[in-house]
Structure 1
Amino acid sequence: MTPSQFRTWAVQQALPLWAGNGFDSGRKLFHERLDFNGQPIDLPALRLMVQARQIATYSRAALQGDYAAGDQALSCLEVVERRYHRADGAPGWIFSLAPDGRPADCRRDLYAHAFILFAYAWAYRLSGDKGLQTRAWEASVELREIFHAQNGGFLDAAPPYDAVRRQNPHMHLLEAYLALFEATGNEVYRNFASELVELGIGRFIEPNTSLLLEDFDSNWKPLEPFGHNRAEPGHLFEWSWLLQEYLRLYADAKEADKIHGVAKALHQTALVHTNGTVPAVIRNGVAESGAVINADTRIWPQTEFMRSLALTVPKQKLETDILLASVLGNFSTCYIPASLHGGWIDRLSADGKSVMDHMPASSLYHIYGAVCELSS
């Protein structure tokens, strides 16, 4: 599979599948799961995060001219605003919605709030609706009030359900701020992004190994003793790409050379942790020692690998093209087999067998992001 064939598959099969069978036209909300026959699976709750990811993806696809479901995405956003925002009378967005339209889970989740900002960014770019720009700002203000933490960054949830601080929601909040800055030109979002870049470089990355760690205590110290902390190579690629996006949008950023160096180090470190497999496969988890602690794979780290490879400097292009061809070939065979007609296998065991009986909608955001980067 070539990058062009990957794009064709996404545009002609994946996007139509999830805008068709993957959309509940009655509720005007996206389904979270399809079975391997492409049929919806009813669930007791629909998460805000999934709705926001699909809204952003289809807004972006419409803007790119890849798939004309922009009106569907904007209509879904209207329903999401009405059903999820302050649905229980309190500031912020509920976590999930029950089939009868009432709140299923009222917790406030930073990860989900980051994605609603991301959805607003792409919806605004598509529509030009100033009301969306205003509501995005209001949602950003709410987020910073709800999840405020005393010692940098944000709480994972409000009220907190544990004392662990996680890098993952901060990563996606950085992505949302960058998208909002590019969409609106409001430099406040770029300043917010700068805060998260500083936090990421200063706290999340273990300096001796260049591994981006996942979990921390309330003071941003690694949760476990050295050698026992978890890292996900897919997130190293994701952060590498985001840091380069930050520099693309802020070329004269403070310590730009340092940030570029960190982005390169994250990419190279993640590549080392493919564990020497051919073709390169990104495993779910490693320890600081380099030992693989979760040899299973998911679809999203493979797409983040592709997205990071797309930014490789020209002098390494031949080597990168060979690696990318190998990765895409394995991807087309193992994760998006033709028998699924635009669907995917999200998780594989260490020996390459599917460990799920459905396909989650949330993967489309990662897949289409890789498609766009490979095509740019």
Structure 2
Amino acid sequence: MKYELLQLKQELKEELTHNILPFWMDKMIDDINGGYYGQMTGRNQLISNAPKGGILNARIMWTFSSAALYFNIPLYTQYAKRAKDYAFQYFFDTENGGTYWMLNADGSPVDTKKQIYSQAFFIYALVEYYRVTNDAACLDKAIDLFRLIEKYSFDATQNGYFEAYSKEWVLLEDLRLSEKDANEKKTMNTHLHILEAYTNLYRIWKNEELAKQLKNLIDIFLNKIINSKTYHLDLFFDENWNCKSTLFSYGHDIEAAWLLEEAAVVLGNADVLKTVRDVALKVADAAAEGIQSNGSIVNEKNSATGHVDTNCDWWPQAEAMVGFFSAYELSKNETYAMKTLATWEFIKANIIDTEDGEWHWSVSSTGKVDNNNDKAGFWKCPYHNGRMCLELMHRIHD
């Protein structure tokens, strides 16, 4: 097993440094309007006038910052700085605080809502940039965003975080991240990425309120979001935490399994960590229900109807690799490591675009590549696959 894992580590380094990062460095730099272009189609057509999403910009910033931190390569810091500078100039609302959801290609705001999911990603990215550069302005911005989330989004009555606000921080009627989502007050997805952001912030800012809210987020997952019968994550809730969904999202299951464990490690509470590690393995086993014989993990299952979305999007494959390897580290059960290796073989054969760079959005159960969704865009970023490479390179020891 050690030989296979060391081989995997080398292949992931090659994938990150020769395919994923070069795609964004060579093909997505916007030299006219600044920052990065907002879209390239699945047929590799650059849409130079596409709107620019805050999530895309933040995830690019995080990925290049994290790569710079791992490799100590100043060039990667420069690409992270490009995203950071653009965010400071255009995405931050200097009047009301927080970041805009979407800009026009020229940098003017086109959607000024304050989606909490997006605020969390800017915290995640700003902290990572700070870890590389010690840029105090980035840490200050991250702390400001934390305080805004706590001031406006935290539900002190029923616990948890509400989803979306206007430019002036008024709770919106339409709270959805995307058209496919249910319009509910609280979601697993937003809580997962607040957890991720607060974990990264707590690495460098040992603040008591932050520690309290990070522990509270872990408790929310343990007591409200993770289904105590199935160990899948419930996805949508009303403000009183009544579940409003019957879907299992296998990618989110396995992503949450390792992010929760990471949060508990960073928090540093031994009792919490023990509980989380026990639950994380059960969540990983629930996610494994979505694994196919070819090593892929399918998208979703509707537990009420039995319908399965058998497409294999790029990001659940990446999260499966990290999540099952984390389960291997916790349990020492090589079955989990074998799942990681099998998923990588599937990714190499089906998801990586060896001709034009980056990864395809998805492949169907029959092996058909999805060219109708973006190669790069509002949701298609170097974060899931880039982070997977970096996480496993960290975790596999020579």
1:135 pairs with 2:156: no
- In the alignment, residue 322 of structure 1 is paired with which amino acid? M
Deviations 1:257-301 (A, max 9, x none): 221111111001111232xx2123211111336934322121100
| Alignment equivalent of 2:281, drawn from 256, 261, 264 | 264
Counterpart in the other structure of 1:21: 27
For 1:319-375, what per-residue CA distance to the aligned partner results, in whole angstroms no more than 9, with x for missing partners?
A: 3343322211110111003223x3211122332222334302534100111111211
Counterpart of 1:374 in structure 2 is 392
Q: 1:52 aligns with which of 45, 50, 58?
A: 58
Match of 1:123 in 2: 129
Corresponding position of 2:204 = 183
Aligned-pair distance for 1:253? Answer: 4.2
* Aligned-partner Cα distance in 2 for 1:43–1:168: 29
The answer as to whether partners of 1:284 and 1:297 remain within 8 angstroms in 2 is yes
Unpaired segments of 5 or more residues in structure 2? 1-6, 166-170, 176-182
CA contact (8 A) 2:233 2:249 kept: yes
SS in structure 2 opposite 1:286?
A: strand
Contact 1:212 1:236 survives alignment (8 Å): yes
The answer on 1:278 being equivalent to 2:271 is no
Q: 1:299 is matched with which residue?
A: 314
- Residue 197 of structure 1, CA deviation: 0.8
TM superposition shift of 1:219: 1.0
Q: Which residue of 2 aligns with 1:72?
A: 79
For residues 2 and 348 of structure 1, the distance between their equivalents in structure 2, rounded to whole angstroms, comes to 22
In the alignment, the residues of structure 1 paired with residue 268 and residue 305 of structure 2 have an alpha-carbon distance, to the nearest angstrom, of 33
Whether the aligned pair in 2 keeps the contact of 1:281 and 1:327 (CA below 8 Å) is yes
Q: Which moved more, 1:172-181 or 1:359-368?
A: 359-368
2-structure distance, mates of 1:91, 1:133: 15
> Which residue is 1:238 aligned to?
255
Q: Secondary structure at the match of 1:231?
A: strand
**CA gap 1:37/1:296 in 2 versus in 1, 3 angstroms:** closer
2:213 equivalent in structure 1: 192
| Paired position in structure 2 for 1:96 | 102
Q: Which moved more, 1:277-286 or 1:56-65?
A: 277-286
Instruction: Look up the match of 1:31.
Output: 37
CA contact (8 A) 1:181 1:187 kept: no
Matched, 1:85 2:88: no
Report the secondary structure of 2:96's partner residue.
coil
Contact 2:38 2:51 in 1 (8 A): no
Q: More displaced, 114-123 or 62-71? A: 62-71
5 Å-filtered alignment, 1:322-337, equals 322-337=338-353
Runs of 5+ in structure 1 lacking a partner? none
What is the CA–CA distance in structure 1 between the aligned matches of 2:96 and 2:299, rounded to whole Å?
37
User: 2 CA distance for matches of 1:323 and 1:284?
Assistant: 16
Q: Aligned match of 1:219 in 218, 226, 240?
A: 240
TM-score norm. by structure 1 comes to 0.91
State the shift of 1:113 in Å: 0.6
Say which SS state the counterpart of residue 125 (structure 1) adopts. Answer: helix
Give the TM-score of the pair, scaled to structure 2: 0.86
- Contact kept, 8 Å, 2:321 with 2:341, in 1: the verdict is no
Secondary structure of the corresponding residue to residue 382 of structure 2: helix
* Aligned twin of 2:267: 250
Match of 2:354 among 322, 338, 345: 338
Return the alpha-carbon distance in structure 2 between the equivalents of residues 372 and 365 of structure 1: 10
Maintained 8 Å contact 1:92/1:139: yes
Pair 1:174-2:195 in alignment: yes
Please give the per-residue CA displacement for 1:231-274, whole angstroms capped at 9, x wherever unaligned.
20111111110121023223434443221111111001111232
- Change beyond 3 A, Cα 1:185–1:145: closer
Separation in 2, partners of 1:294, 1:66: 40
Aligned residues: 368
Q: Report which stretch shifted further, 128-137 or 24-33.
A: 24-33
- Is 1:203 the counterpart of 2:224 in the alignment? yes
- Asked if the contact 1:286–1:293 (Cα under 8 Å) also holds between the matched residues in 2, the reply is yes
Fraction of identical pairs, as percent: 21
Secondary structure at the counterpart of residue 34 of structure 1: coil
CA contact (8 A) 1:310 1:373 kept: no
Task: Give deviations 1:109-129, integer Å, cap 9, x for gaps.
Answer: 011111000011101101112
Shift of 1:62: 1.0
- CA distance in 2: counterparts of 1:319 and 1:254, whole angstroms: 27
Q: Which secondary structure does the structure 2 equivalent of 1:60 belong to?
A: helix
1:156 matched to 2:171? The reply is no
The aligned residue for residue 8 of structure 2 is 2
- Residue of structure 2 equivalent to 1:359: 375
Cα pair distance change 1:147/1:102, threshold 3 Å:
same
- What is the distance in 2 between the residues matched to 1:9 and 1:66? 18
**Structure 1 residues 321 and 142: CA distance shift in structure 2, 3 A:** closer
